[in-house]
Structure 1
Amino acid sequence: MSSIPHLQRSRIEKAITDAAGSEQDFDQAAAALDAVKIAVTVDDAQLMSAAGQSAVLTILNTAIKCFGSAELICTGDAALRTPVLFGKTLVQAARTIGAEVATEVSPWATHVVAVGAGGPPDPFVRCWWDGWLAGLRPAWEDAAVGDSCNPLSGVFAGALAVREVFANAVGRRLSFNRPTTVNLWSPWSSEEEDAPLNLSLPSKLWLVGLGHLGQGFLWSLALLPVADCHVLLQDDQTVGEENVATGLVTLFADVENSNRKTRVAARWLEAAGWTTSIIERRNYGDLKLTTNDPPIILTSIDEPRARVEIAKAGHEYLIDAGVGHGAFDFEIAQIRIIPNGVDAASLWAQPEQAKDVETLLKRRAYSELARKFDNCGTFSLAEASVAVPFVGAAVGALTITQLLRLTALRTTPQIMQVELAAADAGVAGILNPLPAFGLGGSEFQLREQGSR
């Protein structure tokens, strides 16, 4: 499979080649992505805000992984509000990610994403937020952003912006012309709920599955203004070429060095001041828990049966995130919050529908690959899931917000669904009872006194 030249972005390109009625091959899909040149404009206020910095980093990182390039347009620089692996300032981090930095939008930019005021008068889309509210505004609506203290709102808005650029690039949306607002605190409800700015995380967490979605969890956790937490990281896989494009914190060097996904995750969190420990084997719910183990486990794995068994293992709560695997449902997310004792099996469809690999292999994209490379790796590529980094970022922000709801002793849904194509139309099932006891241990504030 390593001989296939599109392996690095293959799981992104599959969103194009595997779409209903598509006749595009992998060369054409790559060309469509390469043609996109995103420019991100940011004003001085958002250059320094938690939401603004998180949005810029999310846009640049996901854009470069999807399209191969991006540029940051700003007239200054600012220290990052939370330390990340990529650098100490926003401009330094942007350059480490691989972005160009300039003071004016280049003439070859195809899509301008505005973060805050300023920039060209007609960007493709504007990021918008106000506390826990996050979303997008069309070019003609230049309403100022609101409370910019929440990094998760910046992550979500930034991911949605790249999603809209992607949809435009692959011909699924001609333009963005409808304001979108999502209440991250309760995406399933249009009613306003008083969301706290004084929050806490458990002093210990357990993360299982450190690929596409798992790295979305890591991305959002590291951008929160808290560092005195410990995370147990569990995964049994080594980084592959295709993981660089889909994983928010995976680097090309990780492939060259055959790094394990647990080590990649540990590097990211430890740079943000967290402590970690690792388990490099699969989790089938067969690990005997002790009183010292984290009370909450977050999972993002492909096997429904394994998730059900983990939910039975005795953790106080399991929080699971999953997305569709195909070109039609890769940006439909389901998040489950399952208290100990709830029948987890009832929350997943059984049996899961098998993927029709044989039908995919008959498509032009795969027949061309089979012809060029004598069938080498073609079946594995057809079998692989579609995975796009902006989905991981958006779902990560939603999932970590539900973790914060839990530690704030609020009700949480046993299952919720959000489709990024219509992110403001989230739905939820039965709400869990309020937690019977506190689960937080590391307290933090999103807003500094006197700031906005």
Structure 2
Amino acid sequence: MTMPIDHTRLHRTAKYFMDNGRAGTHEEAMALLRRFGLTVHVGPEIAASVPHQTALLTLVNLARRTLLGGVEIVGLPEDTVCLSPLSKSPRVADAVLELGGALSPAVRPGWPNAVIGTVPLPPRPAWRMTWEGWRGGVVPAHQPDRLNEDAAMALAPVLAAAICAAEAFAFHSGDHLLAGRRGHGLSLWQPGKNWLASDETEPLLAYLPSRLWLIGLGNLGQAFAWLLAALPYTETATAQLVLQDFDRIASSNDSTSLLSFIRDIGRRKGRVVADWLEARGFETFIEERRFGEWTRRSADEPGVALCGVDNALARAALEDAGFDIVIEAGLGAGPEAFLSIAMHTFPGARRAKEMWSRQVGEGSKSFENMPAYQRLKDAGMESCGLTQLASRTVGVPFVGLIAGCLVISELLRRLHGGTALEFATGSVSALQDIETGSAAVAPYAYGHVAIG
């Protein structure tokens, strides 16, 4: 017997089609997602390049959660040794399978294609993932634009993979007519600048943050962990991380969060993320209470907090816990705004309490009037469960990862004397139009390690 859908098992991308009326039921929305797929072509660079492997593993992890038809890899030798810090598997092929991808000898007809490295041009539409310095994105594979992928900051290939996943979803869903026919990317050193243009001001990474407090371990918090693990920490110079989240992993988290898998349902998020990070050499401390006005940081705990919660009460209290720096990210909600991203840093010109206090107690917009929810009501779903289901936000993992790139790169820019930002806002569908505001800050003095 099939269990009725509830908010813990709702696929958060399927909800997009339920909320905009394109699907009359959760089953119809899931059937639509199962028609979405992606073929990824990898070139010989994959054998010896950490950035190319990191891009591949990130794309597989993101895309398989949204494109339920599958993610198939063409051209990957099964004996390729895994060099990326994002996986502990001995071979890249093993890592791909563990993340939910598949190996394929040929192109799947009708699917769009993604290219990593030097390969024969596949059928259109096809995106080339490319990166250089602090910049990453995609270009149509049949166009000559390609950056120097041998000279990249560690987050750039992750960013390129996230943007590729976003473009693939936009192509399948029909949300952007130019998906597959445009270049789309972002500079993490100078957000809003031309990401394809060479930038001689971009520094090589010399320092990494060593002491951080992560608040919330859902879509955004797990993106922070994925990005930190992609950075070139060494066995003797890793970071101490406080991980704060009170919640358990539910089936719905598998659709949005990079470190959540069906096998982990019921486990505390903090413990799952801690296990994954500790396997990569990080030292973790777990705090399994809600964050709020009662939270106080002690003098020997990390002074820099990264916040990824969507609770207004918690966000309003961010400056009251005693942190020296808070970098907060938020994602849009609903079918019109789920691609929106925003980052704020504190202290700043506006206080966190001023920004979010008025939202405390406000409920999320409900879509109970849409056909998918009316059918559930007609089938006998109780009003409480229906409201809980309809008020959940649309969620996709690639949006959280792109927002996470802005957050982690904010730390890295401050560590390397770059422009500190007070805010950055925009949409994943138009990264060239991202808006930023700079902030005057003192040199970063909250814990770092040097890269050997």
**TM-score of the aligned structures, taking structure 1 as reference length:** 0.89
Deviation, structure 1 residue 285:
3.8
In the alignment, is residue 33 of structure 1 matched against residue 2 of structure 2? no
Aligned twin of 1:356: 365
> Quick check: 2:209–2:412 contact (8 Å CA) kept in 1?
no
> Quick check: 1:235–1:280 contact (8 Å CA) kept in 2?
yes
Deviations 1:218-274 (A, max 9, x none): 11111111141111100000111101111101111111xx21000111012112111
Aligned twin of 1:444: 451
Aligned-partner SS, 1:286: coil
Q: From 224, 242, 246, give the equivalent of 1:236.
A: 246
In the alignment, is residue 334 of structure 1 matched against residue 342 of structure 2? yes
Aligned twin of 1:161: 164
Aligned twin of 1:114: 115
> Quick check: 1:316–1:340 contact (8 Å CA) kept in 2?
no
Q: Where do residues 6-21 of structure 1 align in structure 2 (5 Å cutoff)?
A: 8=9, 10-19=11-20
Aligned twin of 1:419: 427
Q: What is the one-letter code of the residue matched to 2:419?
A: T
Aligned-partner SS, 2:36: coil
Aligned twin of 1:296: 304
Q: Find the aligned partners of 1:373 and 1:145 in 2 and give their Cα distance.
A: 55
> Quick check: 1:152–1:397 contact (8 Å CA) kept in 2?
yes
In the alignment, is residue 395 of structure 1 matched against residue 425 of structure 2? no
Aligned-partner SS, 1:205: strand
Q: What is the one-letter code of the residue matched to 1:344?
A: A
Q: Where do residues 360-399 of structure 1 align in structure 2 (5 Å cutoff)?
A: 360-372=367-379, 374-375=381-382, 377-399=385-407
Q: From 186, 191, 209, give the equivalent of 2:190.
A: 186
Deviations 1:34-57 (A, max 9, x none): 012211111111453233222211
Alpha carbons of structure 1 residues 75 and 233: separation in structure 2 relative to 1, 3 Å: closer
Q: From 275, 282, 285, give the equivalent of 1:277.
A: 285
Q: What is the one-letter code of the residue matched to 1:114?
A: V
Aligned twin of 1:65: 65
Q: Find the aligned partners of 2:413 and 2:142 in 1 and give their Cα distance.
A: 34
Deviation, structure 1 residue 441:
1.8
User: Aligned Cα RMSD in Å?
Assistant: 2.5
Aligned-partner SS, 1:78: coil
Deviations 1:422-442 (A, max 9, x none): 11211112x221324533422
Q: Find the aligned partners of 2:347 and 2:82 in 1 and give their Cα distance.
A: 36
Alpha carbons of structure 1 residues 143 and 116: separation in structure 2 relative to 1, 3 Å: farther
Deviation, structure 1 residue 287:
2.9
Q: From 435, 441, 446, give the equivalent of 1:434.
A: 441
Q: Find the aligned partners of 1:341 and 1:266 in 2 and give their Cα distance.
A: 34
Alpha carbons of structure 1 residues 56 and 248: separation in structure 2 relative to 1, 3 Å: same
State the aligned residue count: 438
**TM-score of the aligned structures, taking structure 2 as reference length:** 0.89
Q: Find the aligned partners of 1:412 and 1:176 in 2 and give their Cα distance.
A: 33
Deviation, structure 1 residue 208:
0.6
> Quick check: 2:318–2:352 contact (8 Å CA) kept in 1?
no
Deviation, structure 1 residue 91:
1.4
Q: From 128, 133, 140, give the equivalent of 1:138.
A: 140
Q: Find the aligned partners of 1:387 and 1:136 in 2 and give their Cα distance.
A: 22
Q: From 142, 146, 149, give the equivalent of 1:147.
A: 149
Give the gaps of 5 or more residues in structure 1.
Answer: 446-452
Deviations 1:184-210 (A, max 9, x none): 122134594612213322321100100
Aligned-partner SS, 1:136: strand
Alpha carbons of structure 1 residues 238 and 41: separation in structure 2 relative to 1, 3 Å: same
> Quick check: 2:162–2:402 contact (8 Å CA) kept in 1?
yes
Aligned-partner SS, 2:346: strand
Give the gaps of 5 or more residues in structure 2.
Answer: none
Percent identity between the two aligned chains: 29
Q: Find the aligned partners of 1:179 and 1:170 in 2 and give their Cα distance.
A: 18
Alpha carbons of structure 1 residues 311 and 296: separation in structure 2 relative to 1, 3 Å: same
Q: Find the aligned partners of 1:17 and 1:325 in 2 and give their Cα distance.
A: 14
In the alignment, is residue 78 of structure 1 matched against residue 83 of structure 2? no
Q: What is the one-letter code of the residue matched to 1:70?
A: V
Q: What is the one-letter code of the residue matched to 1:155?
A: V
Aligned twin of 1:213: 220
Deviation, structure 1 residue 79:
3.1
Q: Find the aligned partners of 2:29 and 2:417 in 1 and give their Cα distance.
A: 46
> Quick check: 2:332–2:338 contact (8 Å CA) kept in 1?
yes
> Quick check: 1:113–1:123 contact (8 Å CA) kept in 2?
no
Deviation, structure 1 residue 142:
3.7
Q: What is the one-letter code of the residue matched to 1:131?
A: G
Q: Find the aligned partners of 2:334 and 2:231 in 1 and give their Cα distance.
A: 31
Q: Find the aligned partners of 1:123 and 1:317 in 2 and give their Cα distance.
A: 45
Aligned twin of 2:272: 264
Deviations 1:268-315 (A, max 9, x none): 211211111101001114233322111200011112332231223221
Instruction: Identify the range of structure 1 (85-94 vs 218-227) with the bigger mean alpha-carbon deviation.
Output: 85-94
Q: From 235, 260, 265, give the equivalent of 1:250.
A: 260
Q: Find the aligned partners of 1:6 and 1:296 in 2 and give their Cα distance.
A: 33
Aligned twin of 2:56: 56
Q: What is the one-letter code of the residue matched to 2:4?
A: S
Instruction: Identify the range of structure 1 (167-176 vs 38-47) with the bigger mean alpha-carbon deviation.
Output: 167-176
Q: Find the aligned partners of 2:88 and 2:176 in 1 and give their Cα distance.
A: 32
Q: What is the one-letter code of the residue matched to 2:249?
A: V
Q: Find the aligned partners of 2:206 and 2:81 in 1 and give their Cα distance.
A: 23
Aligned-partner SS, 1:314: coil
Aligned-partner SS, 2:441: coil
Q: Find the aligned partners of 1:344 and 1:193 in 2 and give their Cα distance.
A: 35
Deviation, structure 1 residue 342:
6.2
Aligned-partner SS, 2:248: coil
Instruction: Identify the range of structure 1 (434-443 vs 27-36) with the bigger mean alpha-carbon deviation.
Output: 434-443
Instruction: Identify the range of structure 1 (168-177 vs 27-36) with the bigger mean alpha-carbon deviation.
Output: 168-177
